[in-house]
Amino acid sequence: MATPFLTFQKFNDAGLATTVAEKLKEQHIEFQLENEQPNFDPSYAFNTVEPTIHLKVQANDFSKAHIALEEYYQGQLQDVDPDYYLLSFSNQELQEIIKKPDEWGHFDYALAKKLLAERGISITPAKAEQLKEERLHELAKPETTGIYWIYAGYLFAVLGGILGILLGYIITYFKKTLPNGDRVFVYPEAERVHGKRILILSVISIPAWYIWRFWMIQG
């Protein structure tokens, strides 16, 4: 079975997405560029600025792609604008970037390491890998839907609404992609059990409501 392509990075800027994709192509890393609508997430229901251009690579190429982009941006550090915001960051703020490279991007990550080294704080390859592993462990932790979404799911399920199926499916099956290409469930097992119940109840209640309405009309 072919290895699926997963979202490696998201962009609002089509030009930047193409530039990054070309750097991967130079390293013989297969990719796909796709325009996608933002995933439904109850906590971001009114978010209209989520990036919609997805750069996708195969899961087993994630590490190779990270290395390729880090090496590319390493060669761009001599052209940093004197007013670039990272230059005013404290050591602690720069270290936060090293701890969370997924939030800052490859250029800021490479620049943060360079600035720290110039200030006498060297981030060795072993230390960088340790921090990345710690970050992966943190990102892999399940998120919580919030008890009100569980209640809402049961309510929609009982009322026979399609929203019950949607919420049940999201809680049960949604996964997130980690920076190393691994896929893990978004929500904890206890909440996923509720999600399955909501899904099953919704599937049962929808035809039940149609049958009940049919009998009421016939009566």
For the cut 60, the answer to whether the pLDDT of residue 181 exceeds it is yes
* pLDDT at position 47: 46
| Mean pLDDT in residue range 120-148 | 92
Q: First-to-last CA distance in the chain? A: 54
Q: What letter does residue 162 receive in the DSSP assignment?
A: H
- Residue 89 near residue 119, CB atoms below 8 Å: no
Instruction: Quote the CA–CA distance of 142 and 187 in Å, as a whole number.
Output: 5
- Residue 174 near residue 137, CB atoms below 8 Å: no
For the cut 60, the answer to whether the pLDDT of residue 132 exceeds it is yes
Task: Give the tokens for residue 119.
Answer: 């200030």
Nearest partner of 180 among 1, 8, 4, 2, judged by Cα: 8
- Residue 53 near residue 19, CB atoms below 8 Å: no
* pLDDT at position 52: 81
Which residues fall within 8 angstroms of residue 63, CB to CB, at 6 or more apart?
180, 181
Question: Which helix (H) or strand (E) is 156 found in, with range?
Answer: helix 147-158
| Mean pLDDT in residue range 121-134 | 92
For the cut 60, the answer to whether the pLDDT of residue 45 exceeds it is no
* pLDDT at position 145: 86
For the cut 80, the answer to whether the pLDDT of residue 219 exceeds it is no
Q: How confident is the model at residue 43 (pLDDT cuts 50, 70, 90)?
A: very low
Task: Give the tokens for residue 176.
Answer: 């997130």
| Mean pLDDT in residue range 29-49 | 65
Express each pLDDT in 149-161 by its tens digit: 999 999 988 887 7
Task: Give the tokens for residue 21.
Answer: 């994709």
> What SS3 state is found at 183?
strand
Express each pLDDT in 69-118 by its tens digit: 998 898 889 888 989 999 999 999 999 999 999 999 899 999 999 999 99
* pLDDT at position 1: 59
The residues spanned by each domain of the chain are 1-62, 75-140, 147-218
Size of the chain in residues: 219
The two counts, helices (H) then strands (E), for the chain are: 9, 5
For the cut 60, the answer to whether the pLDDT of residue 187 exceeds it is yes
- Residue 201 near residue 159, CB atoms below 8 Å: no
Question: Which helix (H) or strand (E) is 54 found in, with range?
Answer: strand 53-58
Instruction: Quote the CA–CA distance of 69 and 66 in Å, as a whole number.
Output: 5
Q: How confident is the model at residue 218 (pLDDT cuts 50, 70, 90)?
A: low
* pLDDT at position 214: 63
Q: What letter does residue 50 receive in the DSSP assignment?
A: -
* pLDDT at position 101: 92
Instruction: Quote the CA–CA distance of 218 and 213 in Å, as a whole number.
Output: 9
Mean confidence (pLDDT) of the chain:
87
